[in-house]
Amino acid sequence: MSEAMWGGRFTKTVDEMVNEFQASINFDKRMYHEDIAGSIAHAIMLAKCGIISDDDCGAILQGLKDIEAQIEAGEFDFSVDLEDIHMNIEKRLTEAIGEAGGRLHTARSRNDQVALDTHMYIRREVVAVQKEIINLQEALLETAKKNQDVIMPGYTHLQRAQPILFAHHLMAYFGMLSRDYARFSGVYQRADIMPLGAGALAGTTFPIDRELVAKQLNFEQIYSNSLDAVSDRDYIMEFLSAASILMVHLSRLSEETILWCSREFSFVELDDAHCTGSSMMPQKKNPDVSELVRGKTGRVIGHLMAMLTTVKGLPLAYNKDLQEDKEGIFDAIDTVKFSLGVYAQLIRGMKVKKDVMRKAVEEDFSNATDLADYLVKKGMPFRQAHAVSGTAVHKCIAEGKYLADMTLPELQELSPLFEADIAEALKPETCVNQRISLGGTSTEQVKLQLTAAQELIDAEKKTNTNLTSQQI
């Protein structure tokens, strides 16, 4: 076992089991780019402030760039003995350039260093997640535009309720995703605060320039309290919260997709690329992608609960417990990005069965509200109209038919207000297009939703491109 870089105070080496237990290199090595970028900015600042020489700074910068090239080429051997990505890089740097490498850690602690790396990493991944959200939004919008004339049953309590446009249904998920995008924008703001310069917890005695480092690394803000800087994990909890809500939305979409492609519904057919078969039953076409996304939702929610539980009892400032922030957030990031990406493919490859949906609308009583509304527009109070419509439904069920099958004389027995135009009022197209209130399911309102959705996507893309260009 190599000697720990912090081992001067100790007379024994760490037990091998403890060493492996506390090491984080196996998962935090993915932050190598952020660690090197932060160290480069820190070294430049130290030189400009006269804390290290220009020669040492030059050697450090070249050494760090060489190490990054080695990591990206797969030529860097990470050591568990060195615990984490920070110590692995610093050890290699010191081996490569000598004493100058040992000066890099001047005026900083691993506490503010790891906080910096994580802030930068979360910023970058927020932008990546938002890009995937936009991709899924585009898939929903494309599918909605292709199926603007498709009418389907809308549901409450999983019972057919009122006719709606299929495009209207898809745009409900678009709305959820737009809020998810906005939530991640909030996460970005809270991650866009620079902790470096806080030291272990109390700042540093060296005359550093935190503003210079923040400018190099494109941070909008700097922590004004050193204790807060090294112990804050709000942005990670907020990321996991936004990720959990996003996954809940995808899980709801998954549940509906699973229902829709079942034999009982048969509203859509998923592409073979997003399904699997059975090892025993030759006829099976299982919606595995949707089921996996639904299942992985619990995994992301679990990471949120774990992080909240970890932080809830921690005193200021840094505690080793906070190392537990990374495995959960890394896994959540991977899960969310995969789920968004695969769902965009699934939506684009999905076949919409217009005729089946139409038949479902015609063979139910989802136009019962429209029958009541018809009477209200003729002057009858709604509660009375509701009772008349309910009586009509009861009569139809008893006789094995639907409201559209009732003759005008039959309807007039229930109310003299019924006229010949009731037949038109009960058609699915009429039921849909009469819902003209803002945000309703009428063709015109859905067209407005589609136009607004495209405008929102364009704005999101512009913001995402700008943020992408700011990442180090």
Closest by Cα among 298, 342, 315, 338 to 129: 338
Phi-psi region of 266 (alpha: psi -120 to 50; beta: other; left: phi over 0): left
Q: Is residue 440 part of a domain?
A: no
Last residue of a domain, one of 329, 353, 377: 353
Last residue of a domain, one of 292, 326, 353: 353
Catalytic, out of 79, 157, 254, 303: 157
Q: Are residues 213 and 82 in the same domain?
A: no
Q: What does the pLDDT read at residue 282?
A: 75
Angle value at C-alpha 189, between 183 and 192, nearest 5 degrees: 140
Q: Is residue 157 part of a domain?
A: no
CATH number at 195 reads 1.20.200.10
Give 168-226 pLDDT, tens digit per residue: 999 999 999 999 999 999 999 999 999 999 999 999 999 999 999 999 999 999 999 99
Q: What does the pLDDT read at residue 157?
A: 96
Domain encompassing residue 36: 16-106
Q: Is residue 340 part of a domain?
A: yes
Q: Are residues 325 and 310 in the same domain?
A: yes
Q: Are residues 248 and 116 in the same domain?
A: yes
Q: Are residues 101 and 227 in the same domain?
A: no
Phi-psi region of 154 (alpha: psi -120 to 50; beta: other; left: phi over 0): beta
Q: What does the pLDDT read at residue 11?
A: 53
Q: Are residues 219 and 324 in the same domain?
A: yes
Whether 278 is a known active-site residue: answer yes
The owner of tokens 């292709």 is 146
Q: Are residues 319 and 240 in the same domain?
A: yes
pTM as predicted? 0.93
Low-confidence residues of the chain: pLDDT under 50: 1, 6, 10
Q: Are residues 92 and 119 in the same domain?
A: no
Q: Are residues 316 and 239 in the same domain?
A: yes
Q: What does the pLDDT read at residue 199?
A: 97
The owner of tokens 């995808």 is 250
CATH number at 74 reads 1.10.275.10
Closest by Cα among 112, 176, 471 to 343: 176
Structural domain total, the chain: 3
CATH number at 397 reads 1.10.40.30
Q: Is residue 463 part of a domain?
A: no
Q: Is residue 8 part of a domain?
A: no
Q: Are residues 297 and 422 in the same domain?
A: no
Q: Is residue 189 part of a domain?
A: yes
Q: What does the pLDDT read at residue 283?
A: 80
* 137, 171 contact by CB (below 8 A): no
Q: Is residue 359 part of a domain?
A: no
Whether 244 is a known active-site residue: answer no
Q: Are residues 188 and 174 in the same domain?
A: yes
Catalytic, out of 53, 262, 278, 394: 278
Q: Are residues 229 and 80 in the same domain?
A: no
Q: Is residue 84 part of a domain?
A: yes
Q: Are residues 133 and 246 in the same domain?
A: yes
